[in-house]
Chains A and B, each alone.
Chain A
Amino acid sequence: MKRFVYINDDESSQELYCDNRISNRKYTVLNFLPKNLWEQFSRFMNQYFLLIACLQLWSLITPVNPASTWGPLIFIFAVSASKEAWDDYNRYLSDKKANEKHIWVVRQGIRKHIQAQDIHVGNIVWLRENDEVPCDLVLIGTSDTQGLCYVETAALDGETDLKTRVIPSACMGMDFELLHKIKGVIECPNPDKDIRRFDANLRLFPPFIDNDLCPLTIKNTLLQSCYLRNTEWACGVAVYTGNETKLGMSRGIPEPKLTAMDAMIDKLTGAIFVFQIVVVMVLGIAGNVWKDTEARKQWYVLYPIEGPWYELLVIPLRFELLCSIMIPISIKVSLDLVKSLYAKFIDWDSEMIDQDTGIPSHATNTAISEDLGQVEYILTDKTGTLTENRMIFRRCCISGIFYGNESGDALKDVKLLNAVAGSSPDVVRFLTVMAICNTVIPIKSKTGAILYKAQSQDEDALVNAAARLHMVYVNKNANILEIRFNGSVIQYEVLETLEFTSDRKRMSVVVKDCQNGKIVLLSKGADEAILPYAYAGQQTRALVEAVEQYAQLGLRTLCLAWRELKEDEYQEWSLMFKEASSTLVDREWRIAEVCQRLEHDFEVLGVTAIEDRLQDGVPETIETLRKAGINFWMLTGDKQNTAIQIALSCNFISPEPKGQLLLIDGKTEGEVCRSLERVLLTMRITSSEPKDVAFVVDGWALEIALKHYRKAFTELAILSRTAICCRVTPSQKAQLVELLKSCDYRTLAIGDGGNDVRMIQQADIGVGISGREGLQAARAADYSIGKFRFLKRLILVHGRYSYNRTAFLSQYSFYKSLVICFIQIFFSFISGVSGTSLFNSVSLMAYNVFYTSVPVLVSVLDKDLSEGTVMQHPQILVYCQAGRLLNPSTFAGWFGRSLFHLIVAAGMGPVLALKYFRYTYRPSKINALQQAERMGGPILSLGNIEPQPRLMEKEVSPLSITQPKNRNPVYEPLLSDSPNSTRRSFGSGAPFDFFQSQSRLSSSYSRNCKDN
């Protein structure tokens, strides 16, 4: 499907495509009520409440005033509806502001000032410097004579650097007047959301220049919400408008995430519902029997001999209504309330403010804080997440000579400085590649200093390093680059830029030396993307060694290469490249193929090594979280050696005697299979030993493993507490998250760049680091934090408290409504099973709201242990991870408690006694820590929870997939006064082992894995 945009044609396309009215609204005034109600009632709980409320309107069966249900119900609905309405109204306001902005547009050949919403596809839009782009435009003219303009795309992808945009060749050199009258057609694909791609063609109509097809790329576009910078004016043709722009298409409401706790609460609600139905049936039958045998004799009740047809239903329905409060409305309200408070606590936390930037942490998703406390796997990106992503050029190897070895800084290496001063040709060529083989834009500031605007941190580091070595990239004027070396100015003309893609793993530029007219190809890229393409005679041994050596040190390496091109070779290739760049389908692939034809027979000049420093506190954070029983996987696009080095330096894996690193590699299915088997075998053997075993896999082997040996790989994933996956693509990252999720693990993905977005969205919890690679990850994430080390606090403090509090609050909500319900049921036995309510409506409502809901909300400030203790003993997180505070068995405890409290009103004494018994003679670890905290003395060593051997059950039956309750064979209720737990605590007279539950702990880890 294609779209044909006729430039400056006022009639034809107006009907076809929408105007530029932006609408982010979910509702309109008319459909708000039905749509919103429909959405709210698609949830089971709400349907239930509505049904109950409707039944209550029938006065024959209602035990209480219907207002006591309708009131809260309407309140809840009104609150969530007005929240939605308010959000929507704000969206409407911001839309309105954008829509009514005045924009210069050419109409009938005259420039007019119109509102942004009246722009149509095909209109020519004029922008001034610092204007926001109102819709997606194809650039056709700028103030710059070379047809360049600069845009800031921060609102689109979060990258703060300036990007160059260029007008298509066909429009080159048109003057002001001409641009008003230009006619033509742009053939472009239908709107999509890919902001990196725009494969279109432009054909101008006579009398304008020639009739040629001119290819258009994303380079020729100005996308909605970008800002025009450093350019006096620009004009373009609107191709996508309104909600069909790239930005508009990529907007979307992501699937709401459901926490494990919510799922558990839903399950428990279901159980209560079943219990309720049973109670209603029993009481209903009993009521009908009693009515027929007894009530007919009681003349004062005056039962009619013949009742209406629905007579049999009346008593059961009355009981249904009496018992309806078993599922409390208040649980929904109070949980929503406290969840937003948890999120606020995260926002407020002054210890999670990034001191460098002053940016506080932020919880975008307010509903999933409890999940933080139940994380089992953390999948982390490396660059920018574990490291600072502040690249510093450290070392280099030029034609076999290593620089920077002694000082650790090549920029201070006298040898290199001498070589530069002596203009050694190898070094000069090396520096030239460093300086101009990139997409960096130099900007002269007012003081005369040159600032570089670079998209990648590596390029930034290289250009800056080259400048320090007297190879200064001074100016970029359209296609002409100016560099200054040792006082002389050299000019190059950029002929083509072969951009970096993650598949090619290299980028190249073709430049023409303006002095001697020689055409040169300059390349830089990963070693495996450069070294194999060296010319036949070159000795690459030294280079390979250099790469190895630098990677050992945890440095990022890039190989720089160079090749002189013959004029005709270039011309021939240039045609192919042009053709490839104008294809509409599979353009990226075609271009890669064409690039391949040029990028060979390199003369490899040398290797650069860039250091990326670790962030503060990364090793400690990883160690603490590992102690908390959380497993770490590192997923990086970097190469294996670098990844392993970083992993070693941040405690991710232990060095040899303590740890063991297993490698999965291979290029073919067979090789991968064999190495996978081998690793698996080793894993199984060593799983009993206290040894940190980790495996390393690269992207290629991973691809094969995931495709053909998914089952074996899954088993490996379960066995291994640590894994390093290098050279992985964004989609593989997401696949790995998916794999762990399918094994029923709670995953947390943390990353900082655009390549982590998919993984972040896929994981149960996505954490974005608002770092230097832009805000893309932070925007897509549920939580954004400034530094990796805040993760510790986020999980151990906020996650844990949230889990504990929700566990208490949700079970308490059920408890308090069960208590009152049991009283009603009990009373029904002494009131002739007729469904009389013991309490009147007002008391019931007051009980539900004022006595038992509002005061208990204060429990969101509860802390069982102080933050310091938790940080010191992260093992305690196991209670949350294994879901020990909210599960069917603790719930049964609360259920029993409500029954008990029905019978014994003054039940506090025995409860206290039982609690004490358990606390003293069978303390849980939390109790032990509480005791220690209280005493203020030295905190008893808790002993480590050794890496739990997580055995995969031998036969993975398909049934077990649907029975996640197999997961935790033993739930140990924390509520010590719940009957089943106390029974256990009395029995054992044996010495009370501090961690008797150890074995149980580990068994709780032997989970089933979904077979797929």
Chain B
Amino acid sequence: MTDTDRVRHRDTKTAFYLFTQQKLPACKPVLTPAWVITIFLFTGFIFIPLGLVTLRASRSVIEIVERYDTECVPEPFRIDKVSYIQDDSIPKNCSLFLKVHKYMKAPIYIYYQLDNYYQNHRRYVKSRSDQQLLNGQKYQATSSCQPVEFNNARPIVPCGLIAWSLFNDTFTFIRERAELKVNRKNIAWKSDRDHKFGKNVYPSNFQNGTLIGGGKLNPRIPLSDQEDLIVWMRTSALPSFRKLYGRIEEDLDADDVVLVQLMNNYNTYSFGGKKKLVLSTSSWLGGKNDFFGLACVFVGSSSLILAIVFMLLHLKFQR
């Protein structure tokens, strides 16, 4: 045995040698009937219960959805809703009655829902300045905020289309003449409040210009405490979305009637968007959403069916 042979023999076991010879150990799953049927059965047995559990959780959530954009326009103005909403002289208050069908356990989340509203439009998404939201007037490079960037040659704080178009309908809830307590704190992400919006940034010149968009902000409250704004500025990915307004921290009983007094300020009439008010309880899985449960049940049952089909095929054509 020569030296090189010896070296080679010693090396044959090392991983690098095996790698160079393309002989690393590997597993090669081969699609044998037993294996495939087992996999499918297994998937079925995992996914069907999972789906059923989540579906149940989703179904346990109680939701009240009320569309109010049309009803809150007084009868005479319904022909030209846009001019109604744009006319500041007409009072915009409006009342709704919500009937509670089932017992709703606190906390009850209040959402407003907008349909056909493109918060994901490119012009819209880009029109903000994260740096300015954090640092305020100190931060001057706000070109991304166009076209709502300056007011009297000073950057608007907060600048950009998103802030400018802030949703400004307000809701108060009354049950049996007593106003329900609505908690409007802690509705935004904590990380947003702490790290994205400045504690010393005040919206001093917001909505002062010629173009008035949506809601106004209290110039004495720093941005980090303007939770409505923070919620609004987390733009939605879909054109139909809900945003959290507040929490009712009392239980609602079945057959309770809740009177909602709202200010219908926000213009969705020019582009035919819908506005809805949503009251919803929550489960361990969050709000009411059947998709995940249904998907799981679908995947599980289809695998189960496939497993059975394969089993029958396998029995019939023994190969």
Are A831's CB and B239's CB within 8 A?
A: yes
Answer yes or no: B96 CB below 8 A from chain A CBs: no
* Alpha-carbon distance between A657 and B168 when the two chains are bound, in angstroms: 97
In angstroms, Cα B40 to Cα A910, docked, is 10
Q: What residues of B have a CB within 8 angstroms of the CB of A345 in the complex?
A: 20, 22
Q: Could you tell me if A906 and B22 are in contact, using CB atoms closer than 8 angstroms?
A: no
A349 contacts B124, CB within 8 Å? no
Contacts of B303 in A (CB 8 A): 909
Interface residue? B270 (CB, 8 A)? yes
B237 at the interface (CB under 8 A from A): yes
Contact B22 A300 (CB under 8 A): no
Q: Which residues of B contact A906 (CB under 8 A)?
A: 295, 299
- Tell me if A419 is interfacial: C-beta within 8 Å of chain B: no
Q: Are A915 and B31 in contact (CB under 8 A)?
A: yes
Taken together as a complex, chains A and B put the C-alpha atoms of A169 and B299 apart, in Å, by 95
Stretch touching chain A among B115-123, B170-178, B183-191, B197-205: B115-123
For the complex formed, measure the closest distance between the CB of A397 and the CB atoms of chain B, giving whole angstroms: 44
- B271 & A297 in contact (Cβ 8 Å cutoff): yes
Q: How far is the CA of A963 from the CA of B87 in the complex (A)?
A: 70
A931 interface hit (Cβ, 8 Å): yes
Query: Contacts A831-B239, A838-B237, A916-B36: A299 and B26 contacting too (C-beta < 8 A)?
Result: no
The answer, yes or no, to whether B28 is at the interface (CB within 8 Å) is yes
Known contacts A297-B270, A299-B267, A861-B26: A834-B8 contact under CB 8 Å:
no
Interfacial chain A residues near B118, Cβ < 8 Å: 295, 298, 301, 831-832, 834
Contact B122 A836 (CB under 8 A): yes
A351 to B17 CA separation, bound complex (whole angstroms)? 13
Contact B30 A832 (CB under 8 A): no
A318–B299 CB distance below 8 A? no
B14 within 8 A of A: no
Collect the chain A residues with CB atoms within 8 Å of residue B117's CB.
Answer: 300
The contact size tier of chain A is 35 or more
The interface residues of chain A, by DSSP majority, are classed as helix
| Closest B residue to A63 using CB positions | B122
The reply to whether A909 and B239 contact each other, CB–CB distance below 8 Å, is no
Q: Taking A297-B270, A348-B20, A906-B295 as contacts, is the C-beta distance between A934 and B32 under 8 angstroms?
A: yes
Q: Is the CB of A302 within 8 A of B123?
A: yes
A831 pairs with B22, CB closer than 8 A: no
Taking CB atoms and an 8 Å cut-off, the chain B residues in 71-108 that contact chain A are none
Return B177 CB to nearest CB of chain A, in Å. Answer: 37
Chain A: which residue is nearest B303 at the CB level? A909
Considering only residues 362-392 of chain A, those with a C-beta below 8 Å from chain B are: none
Q: Are A913 and B40 interface neighbours, CB within 8 A?
A: yes
CB-based contact B161/A913 at 8 Å:
no
Chain B contact residues, majority secondary structure: loop
Minimum CB–CB distance for B175 against chain A, Å = 34
**Given the complex, which residues of A lie within 8 Å of B121, measured CB to CB?**
295, 298, 301, 831-832, 834, 836
* Interface residue from A344, A801, A830, A838 paired with B239 (Cβ < 8 Å): A830
> Which of A294, A349, A350, A920 is close to B33, meaning CB atoms less than 8 Å apart?
A920
Complex CA distance for A915 and B32, rounded to whole angstroms? 11
A604 to chain B, nearest CB (A): 50
- What's the Cα separation between A827 and B165 when bound, in Å? 23
For A302, the chain B residues whose CB sits under 8 A away are: 123, 147-148, 161, 211
The distance from the CB of A862 to the nearest CB of chain B, in whole angstroms, is 8
For window 907-933 of A, CB contacts with B under 8 Å fall at: 909-910, 912-913, 915-916, 919-921, 930-931, 933
Do A834 and B310 contact each other (CB < 8 Å), given the known contacts A801-B22, A863-B26, A909-B40? no
- A933 CA / B30 CA spacing, docked (Å): 10
Task: Assess whether B285 is interfacial by the CB under 8 Å rule.
Answer: no
Q: Does B319 contact A (CB under 8 A)?
A: yes
Query: A813 → chain B, closest Cβ, in Å?
Result: 22
Q: Counting chain B CB atoms within 10 Å of each CB, which of A298, A304, A931 scores highest?
A: A298
In chain B, positions 24-40 with a C-beta closer than 8 Å to chain A are 24, 26, 28, 30-33, 36, 39-40
Docked CA distance A595–B123 (Å): 89
Residue from the list B19, B20, B30, B299 in contact with A909, Cβ < 8 A: B299
A835 sits at the interface (CB 8 A): yes
Given contacts A298-B271, A299-B165, A348-B21, 5 further A-B contacts (CB under 8 A): A63-B122, A299-B267, A830-B238, A832-B118, A913-B310
Question: Please, could you name 9 A-B residue pairs with CB atoms under 8 Å apart, sorted by A?
Answer: A297-B271, A300-B165, A301-B161, A909-B299, A913-B36, A919-B31, A920-B319, A933-B28, A934-B32
